[in-house]
Structure 1
């Protein structure tokens, strides 16, 4: 297993067109990009990763969000509270934002995209409380199984830090413990991911066979959010496919 190329985290990123609040708390905010031309595409709601750590916010996702906007997609990248030991605060905020943002930004339809920890939040929300606007989910290297991630000690104990307890006590927050989302769902994962091993996604899809799995080879944990990587092209391609499924 190779080391992941985290250079995308250090490069300056293009700022959003504007910020939009979806709630009353400081972190109930979203970066918003709107394409230059009018579009009938659904709004992309992006949930960033970072193992739910307070120090890692949405800014590292700006590269991929800005590039999707340049390709004609409207994008809202949500910030959400990341308080160790209080996972419900994160989940409530994501529920609120995904519910409120499409309508408040003038969209009827949305696609939900989440990377890493944001992938966990995306799969969980789509399985437990999907809003009427949700048309599909794209989970990028998701922490799709909290129990397995905890056993593997991923992120130096990130799961226990986030939950404040053993994940067996919170099956309600674990995507692996819920049915597959009813909307079309794809998991996309680099085969050389050393931060969230692809085996987690493979096991999730095996137990949720309606979910599509795409393995990127080559590909690591950050390939999926770095537009400078050639394999990143699979992200807009899969969004096109999900949009097509929602229209059929």
Structure 2
């Protein structure tokens, strides 16, 4: 039996448009799509390591897993695919490769130093529709992960918008370049991919061979 999971993005939730659209699509196919809440009721202490550990506990022992991950959930999915052999296929939606490289310049050096000194920084949470404090440990934790170590040849489909201003599409192009098991589809969209949900759904169905 194959198990399907969807991992939402940073400061998002299982109620996001992509999560709900894909959940509905899987339901129409008579399949279950597990959409865990990666906030775990404690966004303030979120880390990439915590997400990896949380999702890995949902893997049924010895059974195949296929992951769909959006943005930071896509980065999480890539690391789960590297660490867990039962992950047999990945779909990454605007995956957050080079996350800190693209995100930290928006914060600025002065504010980053202040965050490090004070431990917490207010971050807007799109799922909660309000700002929430995030511990600096989030930054320290992400820095431990080097994407050059993502070398396990898991068949991977990346769907990324050419107008993405959050995680530029070049990040996915660079990731694909030296990984022949990765297919990149470039879409006329931005980071949300909100205008191409039907195309995304069909691409996932085809990649997973779902009827």
TM-score (ref. length: structure 2): 0.71
* Equivalent pair of 2:97/2:167 in contact (CA under 8 Å): no
> How far, CA to CA, are the matches of 2:137 and 2:93 in structure 1?
20
Shift of 1:77: 0.7
1:119 aligns with 2:74: yes
Alignment of structure 1 residues 37-56 onto 2, 5 Å:
42-49=2-9, 51=10, 53=11, 56=12
Shift of 1:137: 0.3
Shift of 1:162: 6.0
Shift of 1:197: 1.7
Q: How many residues align?
A: 182
* Equivalent pair of 2:158/2:172 in contact (CA under 8 Å): yes
Residue 93 of structure 1, aligned match among 41, 54, 59: 54
TM-score (ref. length: structure 1): 0.61
* Equivalent pair of 2:72/2:96 in contact (CA under 8 Å): yes
> How far, CA to CA, are the matches of 1:240 and 1:215 in structure 2?
17
Shift of 1:118: 0.5
Which residue matches 1:236?
201
- Runs of 5+ consecutive residues of structure 1 not aligned to the other structure: 1-39
165 and 109 in structure 1: CA distance in 2 versus 1, 3 angstrom threshold:
closer
> How far, CA to CA, are the matches of 1:209 and 1:92 in structure 2?
28
> How far, CA to CA, are the matches of 1:221 and 1:86 in structure 2?
21
Shift of 1:76: 0.8
Instruction: Compute the RMSD of aligned alpha carbons.
Output: 3.2
Alignment of structure 1 residues 1-248 onto 2, 5 Å:
42-49=2-9, 51=10, 53=11, 56-60=12-16, 61-80=19-38, 81=40, 82-84=43-45, 86-97=47-58, 99-100=59-60, 108-127=63-82, 129-132=83-86, 134-150=87-103, 152-153=105-106, 161=136, 163-165=138-140, 167-168=142-143, 170-171=144-145, 174=146, 176-216=147-187, 218-223=188-193, 226=194, 229=195, 231-244=196-209
* Equivalent pair of 2:14/2:35 in contact (CA under 8 Å): yes
Q: Secondary structure at the match of 1:221?
A: coil
